[in-house]
Amino acid sequence: MQVFYTGAEWSEIRLRLLQKNFRIGLVPTMGALHQGHLDLVKRSKENCDVTVVSIFVNPTQFNNPEDFAKYPQSLNDDLDLLKTEGADYVFTPSVETMYPQKSQMTLDFGPLERVLEGAFRPGHFNGVGLIVSKLFHLIQPHVAFFGQKDLQQVAIIKRLVLDLSFPIEIQTVPTRRENDGLAMSSRNRRLDAVSREKSLLLFQSLSWAKEELLNGTSWLEVQQKVNRNFKQTEGVSLEYFELVGTESFEILKAFDPNQKSSLCVAAEVGKVRLIDNLPVNA
């Protein structure tokens, strides 16, 4: 496994790889890796000749400076995990490398970024779009791999690829969960024992709501019951629990079994913000 730090280093490597007609896969991460990230690496290795993993905590996608400062970082451990998993290259750039000057450009994804994460984290998807565009330009992969847990981000990136004509295939890998159902996330490291137990309410609510919808219960009734459950749980503050079109991310007022839809949730558990989602009939 080779670690590199600049686009110039990668250009030389990539030229040699292309001479061998190698198919290049990219797994963008912000580090603090867990098994969910390693699932992306595994999928890349199954579909590509060479796998590149980027590790970069991107400051432009944090609208809360405190959240950015507290984001867990464990580079040495991450590199050990990636070496064991069989990643070929790891890109660990500095902030100065990715942003030699403060970015003046903004990306607007229209209605797709006006809801859910976009509404609660203004500017977040602009930052995501900027860093992913930079990585796509620098690495020029054939395929990029993203986790389903960040479902709205996946929709944003697919729109980015479509609108900017990136010649890159996007593959989505299912959410990896702990044995009790909690979606794996780097942020889980910040949960204390009490908050860790209460965090299960997210997945429990998603699973119950999916079952109820498929059994014919109205979406309004389901949503109201979930909202009440969160209000009755001390130490957990619900931001949203919504039913959306899986690809459009349009907020739905009713469940249609013939339309691809997903349930999405975000909540503050203790002092840690968690998100999750579950396809209903996607």
Least Cα distance to 6 among 86, 116, 91 occurs for: 91
Q: Which residues is 277 bridged to in the sheet?
A: 264
Beta-strand runs (E) in the chain: 2-4, 24-29, 50-55, 89-91, 143-147, 169-173, 236-245, 261-269, 272-279
CA distances from 116 to 44, 103, 112, 276, 279 (A): 29, 25, 9, 12, 16
Tell me: the pLDDT tens digits for 145-180?
999 999 999 999 999 999 999 999 999 999 999 999
Q: Where do the structural domains in the chain lie, given as residue ranges?
A: 2-173, 186-275
How much is the average pLDDT of 246-274? 95
The answer on whether 73 is annotated among ligand-binding residues is no
21-58 confidence digits (pLDDT tens) = 999 999 999 999 999 999 999 999 999 999 999 999 99
Q: Which two tokens stand for residue 149?
A: 């847990």
Q: Are 198 and 269 in contact (CB under 8 A)?
A: yes
Please check if 34 is assigned to a binding site. yes
Active site residues per annotation: 37
Q: Is 124 labelled as part of a ligand binding site?
A: no
In contact, 206 and 263? CB cutoff 8 Å:
yes
Q: Which residue has the tokens 């590149």?
A: 52
Q: What pLDDT does residue 78 have?
A: 97
**CA atoms of 176 and 282, how far apart (whole Å):** 17
* Burial of 250 per CB tally in 10 Å (0-12, 13-18, 19+): middle
**Superfamily of chain region 2-173:** HUPs (3.40.50.620)
Question: Does residue 67 register a pLDDT over 90?
Answer: no
* Residue 153 among known ligand-binding residues: yes
The answer to the question of whether 259 is labelled as a binding residue is no
Reported as a pLDDT band with limits 50, 70 and 90, residue 282 is: low
Domain 186-275 has CATH 3.30.1300.10: yes
